[in-house]
A and B are shown apart, each in its own frame.
Chain A
Amino acid sequence: MDEALVRSLTPGVLTILVRRGADFAAAEDAVQDALVEAFRVWPAAPPRDPKGWLVTVAWRKFLDQARADSARRRREDLVEDEPTPGPAPGVDDTLQLYFLCAHPSLTPSSAVALTLRAVGGLTTRQIARAYLVPEATMAQRISRAKRTVSGVRFDRPGDVATVLRVLYLVFNEGYSGDVDLAAEAIRLTRQLAAAIDHPEVAGLLALMLLHHARRASRTAPDGSLVPLAEQDRGRWDTRMIAEGIGILQSALARDRLGEFQAQAAVAALHADAPTAGETDWVQIVEWYDELARLTDSPVVRLNRAVALGEADGPRAGLAALAALDDSLPRYAAVAAYLHERDGDPDTAARLYAEAARTAPNLAERDYLTRQAARLNAARRR
Chain B
Amino acid sequence: MTSLTTDAPSGVAPAPDARAPQRRRPGGKLGSYLLVRFLLIFPTIFILVTTVFVLMRATGDPITASLGGRLTADQLAERIEAAGYDRPIFVQYLEYLGRVFRGDFGSSISDNRPVTEIVLTYGAATLELAFYAMLVALVVGIPLGRIAAARRDKGVDASLRISGILAYATPVFFAGILLKLVFSVWLGWLPVAGRASTDTQIELQRNGAGTGIYLIDAISTGSPEAVLDVLEHAILPALALGLLTGGIFLRLVRTNVIGTLNTGYVEAARSRGVNERRLLRQHAWRPALVPIITVIGLQVALLLSGAVLTEKTFEWKGLGFQLVQYLLARDFVAVQGIVVLLAVVVALTNFVVDVIAALVDPRIRY
**A and B from one complex:** no
CB within 8 Å of B: which residues of A? none
